[in-house]
Structure 1
Amino acid sequence: MAKTLGPVKRKFSPWDDPGAKPYIRFENVTKRFGDFTAVDDLSLDIYEREFFSLLGPSGCGKTTLMRMLAGFEEPTSGRILLDGKDLAGVPPYRRPVNMMFQSYALFPHMTVEGNIAFGLKQDGLPKPDIDARVKEMLKLVKLERFAQRKPHQLSGGQRQRVALARSLAKRPKVLLLDEPLGALDKKLREETQFELMDIQYELGLTFLIVTHDQEEAMTMSDRIAVMDLGKLVQVAPPAEIYELPNSRYVADFIGDINLIEGKIASAEGNRLRLACDGIGTSIEAEASGSGAAGETAWFAVRPEKVRISHDPPPEGTVNVLSGEVWDIGYLGDVSVYRVKLPNGAIVKSTLANVTRLVERPIGWDDKVYLTWPRDAGIVLTR
């Protein structure tokens, strides 16, 4: 198991309990469309009350996996179980799951109240129960004042809330969200992420979300499954995915990173030295014991862990590079520096803008020094 990440580790972690039973289980599930394999012999456990994200590029199989759980697609082989029951042959309307689509799919001729009540009426609930449930949902998504409005009279964020309320009104055991925030602007999307987290915690439901937005997955999830070509590449909590990626694919896909190729020159205990022709020097790193001398490996270090300075570091400092500032990206809270080394390689560093005025700003073409400690990055062999 990967090393502990200290205070960032969440208290809710049933996946670490050998006695915990998964609520949703995919067992060797494969889905083919003709000659194309969308999901390839995939096994995955998701636990009750978990906020779980399927993350990956377009075409990686994440939406197909969700649609099979919803019942809109049947697996070519393998089993899907929910609360211990095999879902094979169970039609979508008989599954205790509900799906919220990216397009919201609201009825334009119905009011907000009518949209939320629609599924309850289809199920034949008594009118007093429907009215009480609709009122409860309106309060939950803070739309009481908009109950009599039509969808075209609402903002994008309000329509998203109506769709969420309608999905939750039938009290599903699992809520499936397919790119639910894709149509919202950045500020509203960020606000809605925290609202979804609060609602999921308050209701105690299991949420499964499909997204290609890394920040969205990192913010909301208890765990993330990174997918590629129909397979799971890594399944772990957000901090572990970010700090301890298991491959170059995950390291490169999640956030920004410097990936430096080299050959293992020496490995003693937890110390490792990489000879890196690409940056013209060697790197000292901490390693978990994987990799042997002469083997190709990659050192992955996040830009925020690379210190940048005009001043040369003290003598004896490990992992020192020097170069010239090639590009600067000002993002408000941080500045991103792309530093060009003498051999032409580019290494990125970020610097927090903690004060409004900087006495010695780092500018274009400045000569700078980049440093990082041995434990700032991770050595990857695949």
Structure 2
Amino acid sequence: MAKTLGPVRRKFAPWNDPAAKPLIEYRNVVKRFGDFTAVDDVTLGIYEREFFALLGPSGCGKTTLMRMLGGFDMPTSGDILLGGESVVGIPPYKLPVNMMFQSYALFPHMTVEKNIAFGLEMDRLPKGEIEARVQEMLKLVKLEPFAKRKPHQLSGGQRQRVALARSIAKKPKVLLLDEPLGALDKKLREETQFELTDLQMKLGMTFLIVTHDQEEAMTVADRIAVMDHGKLIQVATPSEIYEQPNSRYVADFIGDINILEGTVAARDGTLVRLAASAVQAPIEVEDDAPIAAGTTAWFAIRPEKVRISHDPPPATLSNVAAGTVWDIGYIGDTSIYHVKLDSGPTVRATVANTSRLIDRPITWDDKVWLSWSRDAGILLTK
């Protein structure tokens, strides 16, 4: 498999360099709360200037993993290194790490500039340096006109920027972001995601974000660690996570996907034929993984890679299935067709709405054919 699939945010991949040393290292870290294991033997490296995302459902251990780096929790066992030095047992205020909380935790009685200056004043920096740093931060987050306002006089997006400016004012080595955009509405959250990535690259700082929002992680991160029950399930770039998930859990957690179970019937070089009860003919997949005949496997394919048509495909074409349109979801830019196959399962196909006036040549209860290319999906064995 190629090291990089699809578009990347920038030419930055130190994890592919055997000589590169991570800035942050989790070494066999375990964290238990009584009988509950929140983090289960995690080993992970995060590199300097990387925007790294911890992604997973509530209770998967992602926030605990981040809090241990920030000094807020102690690991039960294992070690956490920052710049080659252990941070275990060091209190948060002595670490070159800062955290931006989901609630923003702004001081309501202070102005924007006073909120940003607070940490610098606690460090007893010279007054002139504090003023210069505050002005730098206000310009960076585009809040110069709001310097004298208090938090209740700001919008949610503006308060988020104040919290971000305060977090980076002390210029920490690592910024920890705990669901930082969760309080924003969808449109503002999407806009802020791009602002956050631009700011991170401009600062050259290492960001570690915790989120349960798959789209957010895919948008901002250089790499994503998908977690479940305290364990790392897959660590890879967004495009690799989406196009080459290593398990049904990751495939199903990231985006929308169709998964069909079958048995490997034959293999000819990189061409694998999967016998699946959901379709009449074997599913043909280009896959170089060492999967032997007789192995149970799952064929996973994204809806946008499935073609839908009234007309049956040529008899020589592989990877086809017949069914009936059960439901249609109009999303605006796309329409999602739920097709109930003649054999029982439902498969989703996404079609782009390329014209303003939506003409539905395919509608409810229509008999249709689905098809896809050999390299459109992947085989999963777990």
Alignment TM class, shorter chain as reference: over 0.9
**Equivalent position of 2:229 in the other structure:** 229
**Equivalent position of 2:212 in the other structure:** 212
Tell me the distance in 2 between the aligned counterparts of 1:320 and 1:123.
Answer: 66
Residue 196 (str. 1) matches residue 196 (str. 2): yes
**Equivalent position of 1:20 in the other structure:** 20
Is residue 280–residue 321 contact of structure 2 (8 Å, CA) maintained in 1? no
**Equivalent position of 2:45 in the other structure:** 45
- Structure 2, unaligned runs of 5 or more: none
Q: 1:149 to 1:7 in 2, by over 3 A?
A: closer
Q: 1:129 to 1:215 in 2, by over 3 A?
A: same
Residue 144 (str. 1) matches residue 144 (str. 2): yes
Residue 327 (str. 1) matches residue 332 (str. 2): no
Residue 345 of structure 1, CA deviation: 1.1
Residue 157 (str. 1) matches residue 157 (str. 2): yes
Is residue 267–residue 293 contact of structure 2 (8 Å, CA) maintained in 1? yes
Tell me the distance in 1 between the aligned counterparts of 2:160 and 2:105.
Answer: 10
Q: Cα deviations across residues 328-350 of structure 1 (Å, max 9, x unaligned)?
A: 11111111110011122100000
Mean Cα deviation higher: 83-92 or 230-239: 83-92
Mean Cα deviation higher: 288-297 or 334-343: 288-297
Tell me the distance in 2 between the aligned counterparts of 1:9 and 1:273.
Answer: 35
Identical pairs, percent: 73
Residue 104 of structure 1, CA deviation: 0.5
**Equivalent position of 2:286 in the other structure:** 286
Residue 33 (str. 1) matches residue 66 (str. 2): no
Residue 324 of structure 1, CA deviation: 1.0
Residue 7 of structure 1, CA deviation: 5.0
Residue 279 of structure 1, CA deviation: 3.7
Tell me the distance in 1 between the aligned counterparts of 2:133 and 2:381.
Answer: 54
**Equivalent position of 1:89 in the other structure:** 89
Tell me the distance in 2 between the aligned counterparts of 1:102 and 1:362.
Answer: 44
Residue 281 of structure 1, CA deviation: 4.0
Which residue identity lines up with residue 63 of structure 2 in the other structure?
A: T
**Equivalent position of 1:371 in the other structure:** 371
Which residue identity lines up with residue 110 of structure 1 in the other structure?
A: M
SS at match of 1:337: strand
Residue 168 (str. 1) matches residue 168 (str. 2): yes
Residue 311 of structure 1, CA deviation: 1.9
**Equivalent position of 2:310 in the other structure:** 310
Q: Cα deviations across residues 283-304 of structure 1 (Å, max 9, x unaligned)?
A: 1111123221111100000000
Tell me the distance in 2 between the aligned counterparts of 1:94 and 1:18.
Answer: 31
- What is the total number of aligned residue pairs between the two structures? 382
Q: Cα deviations across residues 307-332 of structure 1 (Å, max 9, x unaligned)?
A: 11122222311101111111111111
SS at match of 2:288: coil
Is residue 325–residue 338 contact of structure 1 (8 Å, CA) maintained in 2? yes
Which residue identity lines up with residue 374 of structure 1 in the other structure?
A: R
Tell me the distance in 1 between the aligned counterparts of 2:8 and 2:202.
Answer: 22
Tell me the distance in 2 between the aligned counterparts of 1:267 and 1:289.
Answer: 11
Q: 1:238 to 1:97 in 2, by over 3 A?
A: same
Mean Cα deviation higher: 187-196 or 311-320: 311-320
Residue 60 of structure 1, CA deviation: 0.5
Residue 267 of structure 1, CA deviation: 1.5
Q: Cα deviations across residues 360-379 of structure 1 (Å, max 9, x unaligned)?
A: 53211111111000100000
Is residue 324–residue 340 contact of structure 2 (8 Å, CA) maintained in 1? yes
Q: TM-score, normalised by structure 2?
A: 0.98
Tell me the distance in 1 between the aligned counterparts of 2:349 and 2:116.
Answer: 48
Is residue 54–residue 227 contact of structure 1 (8 Å, CA) maintained in 2? yes
Residue 10 of structure 1, CA deviation: 4.5
